[in-house]
Amino acid sequence: MKIFTGFFMLFILIKDIPFALIYARLLIGFGIILLRLLEINHYATWAISLLSIGLITDIFDGVIARKLNISSEKLRRLDSSVDQVFLSR
């Protein structure tokens, strides 16, 4: 019974990966804005690096959701909303 519970908990964590990637992209977007407002040195390098990571998370959240068969209207709306925030910086 303990093994079954462990697999169930692992599945619950795995199915949250797309949501975690979407929220990570939101935080990255706010981070880019914050870096710009703080006028840090080498802003362009940081921004390009963070944008690249954000774009990778954008690709993989959809791929993982489809592979795990957990794609839903809620997930698609959240992804679309976060994309608007992330790309409008």
What is the pTM for the complete model shown? 0.78
Angle at 42 between CA 39 and CA 46, to 5 degrees: 95
C-alpha gyration radius of the chain: 16
Look at residue 89 in the predicted model and tell me its pLDDT. 57
- Tens digits of residue pLDDT in 1-48: 555 566 666 666 778 889 999 999 999 999 998 999 998 899 999 999
Query: What 8-state DSSP symbol labels residue 88?
Result: T
